[in-house]
Amino acid sequence: MAYINADTIRITTPLTRDVALSLKAGDNVLITGKILTARDAAHKRFIELLEKGEPLPIDLHGQIIYYAGPTPTPPGRASGSFGPTTSYRMDKYTPQLLERGLLGMIGKGARSTDVIEAMKQHGAVYFAATGGAAALIARSIVHSEIVCYDDLGAEAVRLLTVVDFPAIVAIDSRGVNLYEIGCNTYKFNREKNEG
């Protein structure tokens, strides 16, 4: 069961542009519905297909991609631990996927200027999931199935059914960026305390 306070926003998938645009950096969200998983190897294959003019094996419109891969599934569970990977590894691929309807991404760590500009252009949002909490995150996963690239093993593209998947809006569709805000606040407080 996820911790819920008065400021928690519940969202369902598929994500709509109106919902993506309404979210603000710092919002706590609980996501329910279906989300995709994909990491570096799958993203590389997506772009190779697009460069050949071929269709993607999945429809990205309104989708959220979780940058993650699972550990082996224990008996009686829908998934093993399923923590986020570092998002910047997908940055060179992300603008092209946003052009094709992707509206949300979940990972950890900052994003490049190019990705943030593409998010602003397409009204997309970037969520942060807590690194180191993979076993807790897995509790929100009620079903997991491979939808393509099963040869990639743990990096295969999966479709997850989630209930109350916890995340924070790290960068919103206007480009407001919690990573920058946090660094600037730290710097300001440090300089104030030193001065």
| Distance separating alpha carbons of residues 172 and 81, to the nearest angstrom | 27
Nearest Cα neighbor of 119 from 167, 169, 58, 181 is: 169
| Cα angle 35-170-129, degrees, rounded to a multiple of 5 | 50
Active site residue 43: yes
Whole-Å CA distances, 47 to 101, 102, 115, 118? 14, 14, 15, 16
End-to-end CA distance of the chain: 45
DSSP 2: -
Q: Active-site residue among 43, 61, 122, 143?
A: 43
Sign of the Cα torsion 41, 96, 38, 116 reads positive
Active site residues: 43
